[in-house]
Amino acid sequence: MNILVLGSGGREHAMTWALKKSPLVEALFVAPGNGGTEEIATNVTNLVINDGEAVLSFAKDNNIDLVVIGPEAPLVAGVADVLRAGGIAVFGPDAQGAQLEGSKTYSKEFMRALDIPTARYGSFSTEAEALAFAHEMGAPLVVKADGLAAGKGVVVADDMEDAEDAIHDCFDGTFGDAGSTVVIEECLTGPECSLLAFVADGKAHCMVTAQDHKRAFEGDRGPNTGGMGAYSPVPIVEADELAAMKEVMKRAARGTDAEHFEHDYRGVLYGGFMLTPEGPKVLEFNARFGDPETQVVLPRLESDLAEIMLAVAEGRPDDVKLHWNDEWAVCVVLASEGYPGSYEKGKVILGIDDAEALKGVTVFHAGTAKNHDDELVTAGGRVLNVVALGETFEEAQERAYEACDLINFEGKQLRTDIGDRAAKGRSAWE
């Protein structure tokens, strides 16, 4: 097959890396790609990935058999709809399915209709109504911009002043159109866990568990980011909790078939869960692979990713066969100084080859590019995802940080506590 992957982050590098291993794959293209995908595929830097017609034209001109859509924006823009109408197989839901991520209000209504456990909430299109509901609910609470905000439109407000500021920021245009509607939720307590599933024809094939670290700084402090690290599996999840999460994912998948949606959902459904004292509750659904969860899930996948994605794209869920290794995976994100705020680009990156020489280490690129001297340089907030596999959690964690020490660029920023709470057990969240 000839495969086109849309996106430029660590998630897309990880997917491209996994697809590259398949004997079914003849040619790989990534649009726009990054410094890492350039080494294993052909980067297409001039393709506007939110433009369905442009992507369809490229696919036809290059005999593309499968398009894999990485980020949420092209999904919400309906790129999958245009490609399918043009006869191209697509891994990724249509625009309606993507609303499970594109609109938090839509997602909440979906959960309520299917009796999926989630936080109490209200959705508001005026600041006055949102403030009134927030005061009625009381802090702590969670304020969410309804639309896509690159993972940064969510504020956990510990007091009413923070909640008021977050609501004002949404309606004041901080998140653009994404904040024109605001969802306010009760603040659930407990550890978080991500469970992703391959979904097609109303059926879900669940992957292995993973846990992201959203906050910028050690001790889960600071602003939310796109993710500063992850690990898989999640050792604190009890068997009954995992069973409950899998049942939720299957129930959600049944709600995405062609009977309920204009087209059945074909792609990844991401379930973000909170393990509350009352059982797992859904914090959010996403319509694509998580980032950086993908970077710890796919290195544990022993099945052929190209086979899986094609089966999903063609609506053949019974042909999806998942096999996983028993290793632990830990990912540490190396970010630019100042992230998730403003940061400089163009810092030369050294030491990746030395890091990848360590047993079980793979470095997935996120915000990287080549400069005029063909040097690898920083080109984004999250720069690299350093992933290590190990027979134990401790081995994987130690190896990941050993690899991080070998990589250098000016202003390198990272969290040094990825996975620490999980290593201490469930009591670390009490």
Q: Which has more pLDDT, 179 or 105?
A: 105
By DSSP bridging, strand 328-335 and strand 229-232 are antiparallel
**Would the pLDDT of 321 be above 90?**
yes
Helix (H) or strand (E) holding 54: helix 52-61
Residue with tokens 């400069």: 371
Return residue ranges of the chain for CATH 3.40.50.20: 2-94
Average of per-residue pLDDT across 180-184? 91
For 200-226, what is each residue's pLDDT tens digit? 999 999 999 999 999 999 999 988 888
Class of domain 328-421: alpha beta
**Would the pLDDT of 3 be above 90?**
yes
Nearest to 64 by CA among 78, 54, 72: 54
CA distance 34 to 8: 6
Average of per-residue pLDDT across 307-314? 98
Average pLDDT of the chain is: 95
**Would the pLDDT of 260 be above 80?**
no
Q: Residue 167: exposed, middle, or buried by beta-carbon count in 10 A (0-12, 13-18, 19+)?
A: buried
Q: Report pLDDT for 425.
A: 87
Class of domain 189-319: alpha beta
CA distance 20 to 56: 22
DSSP secondary structure code for residue 292 in this structure: T
Average of per-residue pLDDT across 87-116? 95
What pLDDT band is residue 349 in, cutting at 50, 70 and 90?
Answer: very high
pTM over 0.85: yes
Q: Report pLDDT for 150.
A: 67
**Would the pLDDT of 307 be above 80?**
yes
Q: Report pLDDT for 66.
A: 98
For 128-147, what is each residue's pLDDT tens digit? 999 999 999 999 999 999 88
CA distance 218 to 418: 8
Q: Residue 320: exposed, middle, or buried by beta-carbon count in 10 A (0-12, 13-18, 19+)?
A: buried
Q: Report pLDDT for 147.
A: 85
Return residue ranges of the chain for CATH 3.90.600.10: 328-421
**Would the pLDDT of 236 be above 70?**
yes
Q: Report pLDDT for 53.
A: 98
The distance in angstroms from the start CA to the end CA of the chain is: 50
Average of per-residue pLDDT across 72-90? 96
Average of per-residue pLDDT across 344-358? 98
Return residue ranges of the chain for CATH 3.30.470.20: 189-319
Return residue ranges of the chain for CATH 3.30.1490.20: 120-186
DSSP secondary structure code for residue 46 in this structure: T
CATH number for the domain whose boundaries are 2-94: 3.40.50.20
What pLDDT band is residue 430 in, cutting at 50, 70 and 90?
Answer: confident
Q: Report pLDDT for 156.
A: 87
Q: Report pLDDT for 151.
A: 63
Q: Report pLDDT for 261.
A: 75
By DSSP bridging, strand 361-365 and strand 382-390 are antiparallel
DSSP, collapsed to helix, strand or coil, labels residue 158 as coil
- Counting every residue written for the chain, the total comes to 430
**Would the pLDDT of 294 be above 70?**
yes
For 146-165, what is each residue's pLDDT tens digit? 888 766 688 888 999 999 99
Residue with tokens 């906050």: 215
CA distances from 3 to 29, 337, 365 (A): 6, 35, 19
Class of domain 120-186: alpha beta
- Which two tokens mark 88? 């191209």
User: Residues 296, 331: contact at Cβ < 8 Å?
Assistant: yes
**Would the pLDDT of 428 be above 90?**
no
Average of per-residue pLDDT across 418-425? 90
CA distances from 361 to 25, 35, 198, 328, 346 (A): 24, 18, 26, 12, 25
Q: Report pLDDT for 152.
A: 67
